[in-house]
Amino acid sequence: MLMNPRGSVLVVGGGIAGVQAALDLAESGYYVHLVERRPAIGGAMAKLDKTFPTNDCSACILSPKLVECGRNLNINLLTLSELISLDGEPGDFKAVVRQHPRYVDTTKCIACGLCAEKCPKKTKNGFNMGLSERKAVYLMYPQAVPLKYAIDPDECIWLKRPGRCGACANVCPAGAINFDDVPKDHVFEVGSVVLALGFSLFDPSGLDFTGYRRIPNVVTAMEFERLLSPSGPCLGRMERPSDGKEPRRIAWLQCVGSRDTNRACRGYCSSVCCMYAIKQALIAREHAGGALDAHIFFMDIRTHGKGFEAYYNRAVQEGVRFHRSKVHSVIPADEGTLLIRYADEAGRMCEEEFDLVVLSVGMELNHEAVALIDRLGVGFNKDGFVLTSPFSPVSTSRPGVFVCGAAQEPKDIPQSVMEASAAALEAGRLLSPARWTETKAKEFPPERNVRPEPPRIGVFVCHCGINIASVVDVKAVTEYARGLPGVVFAQDNLFTCSQDTINQMAETIRRERLNRVVVASCSPRTHEPLFQETLREAGINKHLFEMANIRDQDSWVHRDEPQKATRKAMDLVRMAVAKVRGDGPLPYSSVPVTKSALVVGAGVAGMTAAVAIADQGFKVFIVERKDRLGGHARKFYRTWQGFEVQPYLEELAKTVSSHPNIELHLKSTVTEAFGSVGRFKTSLSDGSVIEHGVAIIAIGGESFKPREGKWNYLYGRHPAVHTLLELDRRFIAADEGLNGLSQAVFIHCVGSRVPERPYCSRVCCTHAIDQALKLKELNPEMAIFMLYRDIRTYGMRERLYEEARAKGIIFVRYDLDHLPEVSDDGGRLVVKAHDMILDRPVMFHPDLLVLASGVVPRDDAGGLAGFFKCAMDQDGFLLEAHMKLRPVDFATEGVFLAGLCHYPKPMDESIAQAKAAAARAVTILSRDAVSVESMTAYVDTAKCTGCAVCTQICPYAAINIDQDTGRAVVDIGLCKGCGACAASCRSGAVSVKNLGNEQIMAAIESAMDMADVW
């Protein structure tokens, strides 16, 4: 923490990581300058068709965050801009940002599109990867934020030859075209900087064997994303570039520009390619109605993220074919088809013919990002990404400058979002004395009193690209809505959540004097807050709103029955209209925030989160069931980068123990928890009762102990059989018994990727290889064998795999049909395995057998999750609110998670997640009050008999019996409007606001009205 720092932060990069960092900082009390070099924010995620494994439309789930960012009063969005220089020290930087001319005045542009319509100059559309054309004046993509046109100076006829053309200026009704626009330099005084520079995709045109750029039906993975996308060149219809025909056989080639030091000079793994290829194969099969023959050619399948292994297994079950192979070449064949020559696992040369080949290209930093990092004096690692340390995973080599996302290492969306929050935490941590000093408060217009007005309902029906419109006749639904009672306005939109439609919706509400709004689109889980805020900006109460989910509940589940799906969409809209007619405005409630945090678990994640919060002046209570700090990390020898864990752990524990804002409760557990965001009350086994505003669950996990069954391998019965952590203990103790060993065997995936635990434990491959290298240090002549299924040294960890092979460690693959066998021959270990390449058995006689056992959730995780009303997944790990965009939040507001209780992960990722959880917690703790649910229960005291059934049934302890009246009363700060009390009340005394019998029965009767007709 610094004295008198600036209260603003510079965030460089407007992809999902930069947007998340900016939003977290703005919510925590800092003013943010968000700098993006393109005309709009969104980054690579805006180009994706769908996300995995949730199958959400990528643009749809991204759009609310982008719109929120673009509308936030405390985020200064500068597009077409770049950071030129950064001088000064942490807390007091001076940044020079150059904003390049847009040639369109954003204060005047109404995004009508007339300029692009009349522009005569066409050029390749970079957003569509050059697969289509755009005009010289263009909108980056349909949901762009800001939704403003820009002129490409390299293509514009007027800018290249002034006086020629000018068609755009002639037709623009707002006079927004400004050919005299010039670069502008802005000087910002900021306290810290976050680099969210994103990535570029590897250009495979230099790899002759792929045929890229020479053969039209060879495309990169991002080009294929655009071919699939409803906003892409084919409008969602899958076509091959050469002739527009729908491909029936597609091949994906993995590791193009990754794990290749000879041809591509990129030795690292890009981490995401295996998963996006599997996703594309499954989605392409959906587009083709299951008729597509999809093949993936790979070296190792790396599905190491949460839910990823299950997605891979699903692909196998649904008929995607996987070839472990080495591709030799892609050759043109007849009628636009392509011949792939490859060597299979046994070394046999094979050939197969395909209609389309997709290259799964890797990630790298683009040259502009490299130049910027160099100018800032920030260090690079050996693979050309931003240098960080495992114990400070978002801190660069320059103090006060932090990094997140793929600029630090190739990674997927959840990890990028997580790191963005962690970087926001570190950036804000420096500046906490200046919190709220440079921010503005948002003010809404006075709300119109609609109570005396008859219902004037507006219905907005969304195409959602083709997510809805490919199944449901959206225009027919819109026309149907116009005739419903109370509806005075109905409109269909390509993307209802896009910025222009949101602005248009607010204007329509004002112009048409609407007093109720129905949006028929996707999930209220992701979009309801966005639309509700739009109502407030239009001057009506946000609770006069209803969503009809015609995507998740209709088009996605009735894909093969478009007529019935259209009728169902009409039913859902009719029910929503009937329900919203009876809705009334509700007051906005808030509760004061108890400015303290509870952290459950004192491992590395828990301690990191606690210190991060306590350093900003907030009280933190740590609850730990054991008698000392450290958790699982006490068993680890070193990180995969070679940093010893125990010295770091001891220093962290010392900081926690001596911190004036941290109170420790060792040998204690949570016995009860009540309350809601801002004011929780938790009881502990030591008799303490803690009041806190937020909670972070960081209870860790356990290492799997193969005590019995086919995964036992003589563990616990032979002294030479160890788990990874047991071998780590011997390294920590500098056990002399490890010297002089002649042979070691490691067996991977012990207890992971098996029917009982079908997930990948993420850390085992790297940990095992690092231990093997340590054994090689101790015994250079030692023979070491790795029995593995897939080596998953993702990201920079691939360097360990390279080093292991270079030092003679031998890798032998097995599968579940040929498990290794371990026996005891008179005290001597015998390990038998089936070599998949040689197709013959092999035998080893190791002095040491190491079982790479996986991570399992703690047995008591479910009980703790129940106290805080948090969900768990099918594997027993705690379930985040949204896998991609809310990876550290629970669905229960004010409760967050970090570390192994979320999913197996290495220490650097646990630390980043802990800081992310702390960042999300601080967005609440930094406020004096937080909004709470308005749709709460209420009691008709004339009907209430005081039976107290509602008090027993309420999961939030929000209802009590008043001692004076003997009637039930509701604490609106605790009530979540779940309706359990209303359902259980025998006398009908309890109802939920806007969800009473009137509204529910109106919707039901509306559904029944047309049942006979359909």
* pLDDT tens digits along 353-402: 999 999 999 999 999 999 999 999 999 999 999 999 999 999 999 999 99
Dihedrals phi, psi of 764, to nearest 5 degrees: -65, -45
- 8 A C-beta contact, residue 534 and residue 507: no
The residues that bridge with 41 in the sheet, in sequence order, are: 145
Q: How far is CA 798 from the centre of its chain?
A: 23
CB contact at 8 A, 306 and 903: yes
pLDDT over 90 at 526, yes or no? no
- Return d(Cα 906, Cα 917) in angstroms, integer: 17
Q: How far apart are CA 100 and CA 103, in angstroms?
A: 9
Helix 562-581 × helix 997-1009 angle, to 10°: 150
The alpha carbon of 100 is separated from its chain's Cα centroid by a whole number of angstroms, namely 31
Residue 896 has pLDDT above 90, yes or no: yes
Task: Assess whether pLDDT exceeds 80 at residue 761.
Answer: yes
| R_g of the chain computed on alpha carbons | 30
pLDDT score of 958: 86
Report the distance separating Cα 384 and Cα 569, nearest Å.
51
pLDDT tens digits, one per residue of 941-958: 999 999 999 999 998 788
Cα 612 to chain centroid, rounded? 22
Is pLDDT at 15 greater than 60 in this prediction? yes
Spatial distance between the Cα atoms of 390 and 443, rounded to a whole number of angstroms: 43
Question: Is 200's pLDDT higher than 60?
Answer: yes
352: CB partners within 8 A, 6+ apart: 251, 295, 339, 340, 342
The torsion region of residue 642 among left (phi > 0), alpha (psi -120 to 50) and beta comes to left
Q: What do you get for the CA distance between the two ends of the chain, in Å?
A: 66
pLDDT in tens, 283-335: 999 888 878 999 999 999 999 999 999 999 999 999 999 999 999 999 999 88
Number of neighbours of residue 943 by Cβ within 10 angstroms: 14
Q: What is the pLDDT of residue 1011?
A: 53
**How far is the C-alpha of 246 from the C-alpha of 931, rounded, in Å?**
51
Above 90 in pLDDT, residue 467?
no
Residue 135 is predicted with a pLDDT of 97
pLDDT exceeds 70 at position 1010: no
Indicate the DSSP class of residue 432.
Answer: G
Structure tokens given for 435: 């919190």
- Helix (H), strand (E), coil (C) string for 519-544: EEECCHHHHHHHHHHHHHHCCCCCCC
Burial class (CB in 10 A: 0-12, 13-18, 19+), 260: middle
What is the per-residue DSSP string for 83-129? EEEEEEETTEEEEEEEEPP-SB-TTT-----HHHHH---EEE-TTTT
What is the model's pLDDT at position 231? 83
- Residue 227, class by beta-carbon neighbours within 10 Å (0-12 exposed, 13-18 middle, 19+ buried)? buried
Q: What one-letter code names the amino acid at 56? A: D
Omega before 904 within 30 of 0, i.e. cis: no
CB burial readout 912-930, b (16+ within 10 A) else e: bbbbbbbbbbbbbbbbeeb
| pLDDT beyond 80 at 93 | yes
Query: In the numeric block, which tokens belong to residue 67?
Result: 């719109």
Strands 990-992 and 937-939, sheet pairing:
antiparallel
The answer for residues whose C-beta is within 8 angstroms of residue 836's C-beta and 6 or more apart is 345, 812, 813, 814, 815, 818
- For 847, list phi and psi in degrees, rounded to 5: -80, -20
Reduced to 3 states (helix: H, G, I; strand: E, B; else coil), residue 353 is strand
pLDDT-derived band at 766, boundaries 50, 70, 90: very high
pLDDT digits (tens, 9 = 90+) for 437-455: 999 998 899 999 999 999 9
Rounded to whole angstroms, the Cα distance separating 763 from 415 reads 15
Of 908, 923, 919, the closest CA to residue 423 belongs to 919
Do the beta carbons of residue 233 and residue 227 sit within 8 Å?
yes
Flag whether pLDDT at 72 surpasses 80.
yes
Of 512, 538, 539, 517, nearest in space to 528 by CA:
517
pLDDT in tens, 47-68: 998 888 777 778 778 888 998 9
Helices (H) and strands (E) in the chain, counts: 24, 49
Helices (H), 172-288: 221-228, 273-287
Q: Where are the beta strands (DSSP E) in 637-700?
A: 662-666, 670-676, 679-684, 689-692, 694-697
- Reference 744, options 804, 814, 826; nearest CA is 804
- CB-based burial label for 660 (10 Å; 0-12, 13-18, 19+): exposed
Average pLDDT of the segment spanning 723-737: 96
Residue 95 CB-density burial (10 A; 0-12 exposed, 13-18 middle, 19+ buried): buried
pLDDT per residue over 242-292, tens digit each? Answer: 999 999 999 999 999 999 999 999 999 999 999 999 999 999 998 888 789
Cα–Cα distance for residue pair 371/281, rounded to 1 Å: 36
Partners of residue 266 on adjacent β-strands: 260
In sequence order, the 6+-apart residues with CB closer than 8 A to the CB of 667 are 624, 625, 626, 627, 686
Burial category of 843 from C-beta neighbours within 10 Å (exposed 0-12, middle 13-18, buried 19 and up): exposed
Residues 6 or more apart in contact with residue 590 via CB below 8 angstroms: 929, 930, 931, 932
- 989 CB-contact burial (10 Å; exposed 0-12 / middle 13-18 / buried 19+): buried
Specify the DSSP element, H or E, that contains 174.
none
Mean pLDDT score across all residues of the chain = 93
Residue 650's contacts (CB-CB under 8 Å, 6 or more residues apart) are none
Distance CA 285, CA 290 (A): 5
Place of tokens 């204690």: 668
